[in-house]
Structure 1
Amino acid sequence: MASSFSTIANGPAYPAAPGYPVPNPCLSFWLQGTRSSSLLGHRTTSILPSTTDVAIIGSGISGAAVAYFLLTGHNPPKNVVMLEAREACHGATGRNGGHCRPDCYRGYKAYKAHFGKEQAFKVLQNEMDTLNLVTEVIKKEGVDCDFWRGLTFDIAMDEEAAVFFESNYNEFRADGGLTEGIVEWIGNPNEAQKRTRTAHALAAAEFPASSLWPYKLVMHLLKLCISSHGLNLQTTTPVKSVSTDEVGEWLLNTDRGTLKASKVVFATNAFTATLLPEFLGKIAPFKGQCSAVVPTHAYSGENMLDHTYSHRYGTNSFDYMIQRPKDGIVIIGGDKFKVPIEQMIGNTDDSSKWEAITEYLGGAMKNYMTGWREEALGEGLLHDWTGIMGFTPEEVPYVGALHEKPGAFITAGHCGHGMARAFTCSRGIAALIRGESWESTKLPECFQPTPERLAASKTTVEEVWCHHTKGVTHL
Structure 2
Amino acid sequence: MDNTIPMASSTSEPHPRLPTKPSTTPYWRTQPSPLDSFRSSDTAPEIVDVAIIGSGLSGACVAYHLLSDPASSITNPTIAIFESRQACSGATGRNGGHTKLAPRFIASHGSKYGPAAALEFALFLKELIGEMKECAESVVVDVEGKTLMEECEMLVTRSWDVFLDEEHAGEVEREWIEAASAMREVAKREGRDCELEWLGEVQFVKGENVEKITSIRGAKAAFSCPALSLWPYKFVLGLLQHVLNLGAKLYTLTPVTSMERVPGDTAGAKGLTALRTPRGTTLARKVIFSTNAYASNLLPQYSNTIIPGRGTACRIVRQPSTSEYTQLVNTYNIHGSASSREYLVPRPDGSIILGGGQALYREDKQRWYDMIDDGTLIEGVKEKWFEGYMGRTFRGWELSGEDERVDCVWTGIMGYTEDSFPHVGLVPGETDHFIMAGFNGSGMAMIFLVARGIARMVRGGISFEETGLPAVFKSVQERIKAVGDNAEVPTRLKAELVR
TM-score, normalisation: structure 1 = 0.89
Cα distance in 1 between the residues matched to 2:433 and 2:296: 14
1:459 Cα deviation (Å)?
8.4
**Aligned residue number for residue 182 of structure 1:** 201
Secondary structure of the residue that 2:434 maps to in structure 1? strand
Aligned equivalents of 1:89, 1:82: Cα separation in 2: 12
How does 1:129-148 map onto structure 2 within 5 Å? 129-141=127-139, 142-143=147-148, 144-148=151-155
Alpha-carbon distance, 1:402 to partner:
1.4
In the alignment, the residues of structure 2 paired with residue 25 and residue 473 of structure 1 have an alpha-carbon distance, to the nearest angstrom, of 21
1:242 aligns to 2:265 (yes or no) = no
Instruction: Mark the CA change 1:158 to 1:385 in structure 2 (over 3 Å): closer, same or farther.
Output: same
Q: Partners in 1 of 2:328 and 2:39 — Cα distance? A: 41
Contact 2:159 2:330 in 1 (8 A): yes
Partner of 2:250: 233
1:396 matches 2:418: no
Superposed displacement of residue 58, structure 1: 0.1
SS at match of 1:68: helix
**54, 63, 66: which is aligned to 1:58?**
54
Matched position secondary structure for 1:131: helix
Partners of 1:146 and 1:355 in 2: how far apart? 32
Gaps of 5+ in 2: 1-14, 140-146, 185-195, 264-269
Q: Secondary structure, in 3 states, of the residue corresponding to 1:281?
A: coil
Offset at residue 174 of structure 1 (A): 1.8
RMSD: 2.5
**1:51-450 superposed matches below 5 A:** 51-74=47-70, 75=72, 76-103=75-102, 105-141=103-139, 142-143=147-148, 144-177=151-184, 178=196, 180-188=199-207, 190-227=208-245, 229-246=246-263, 247-295=270-318, 303-325=326-348, 327-339=349-361, 340-342=363-365, 343-359=367-383, 360-375=385-400, 379-434=404-459, 435-450=461-476
Aligned length: 451
Range with greater deviation from structure 2 (355-364 or 435-444): 435-444
- Partner deviation per Cα, 1:406-460 (whole Å, 9 max, x = no partner): 1110111111111110000001110000112434422101101011332699785
CA-CA distance at 1:380 after TM superposition: 1.9
SS of the aligned residue for 1:194 comes to helix
Alignment-derived partner of residue 43 in structure 1: 39
Task: Supply the distance in 2 between the matched residues of 1:293 and 1:233 (Cα, whole angstroms).
Answer: 33
Q: Would the aligned equivalents of 2:309 and 2:416 in 1 still touch at CA under 8 Å?
A: yes
Q: Is the 8 A contact 2:358 2:497 kept in 1?
A: no
Report the CA distance between 1:376 and its aligned residue: 6.2
Query: Between Structure 1 and Structure 2, whose CA radius of gyration is higher?
Result: 2
Shift of 1:164: 3.3
Residue 108 (structure 1) shift = 3.4
- The answer on whether the counterparts of 1:83 and 1:233 sit within 8 Å (CA) in structure 2 is yes
Specify the code of the residue in structure 2 equivalent to 1:27: T
Give 2:190's aligned residue: none
Residue 355 of structure 1: how far off its partner (Å): 3.0
Q: Distance in 1 between matches of 2:241 and 2:50?
A: 18
Instruction: Name the amino acid aligned to 1:147.
Output: M
Distance 2:76 2:478 in 1: 31
The DSSP-based 3-state class of the residue aligned with 2:209 is helix
Which amino acid is 2:395 matched to?
A: T
Aligned counterparts of 1:94 and 1:300: Cα–Cα separation in 2? 33
Q: Is the 8 A contact 1:284 1:461 kept in 2?
A: no
- How far, CA to CA, are the matches of 2:168 and 2:332 in structure 1? 15
- Shift of residue 77 of structure 1? 3.8
Q: Which amino acid aligns with 1:53?
A: D
> C-alpha separation between the residues in 2 aligned to 1:121 and 1:392?
22
- In 2, distance between residues paired with 1:210 and 1:461? 34
Any conservation in 2 of the 1:164–1:315 contact (CA below 8 Å)? no
User: Are 1:239 and 1:252, in contact at CA under 8 Å, matched by a contact in 2?
Assistant: yes
Cα distance change of structure 1 residues 299 and 193 upon mapping to structure 2, 3 Å threshold: farther
Paired amino acid for 2:35: L
Counterparts of 2:235 and 2:405, CA distance in 1: 27
Contact kept in structure 2, 1:160 and 1:315, CA below 8 Å: no
Q: Is there any run of 5+ residues in structure 1 with no aligned partner, and where? A: 1-16
CA–CA distance in structure 2, aligned partners of residues 263 and 424 of structure 1: 20
Q: CA contact under 8 A between 1:18 and 1:348: conserved in structure 2? A: no
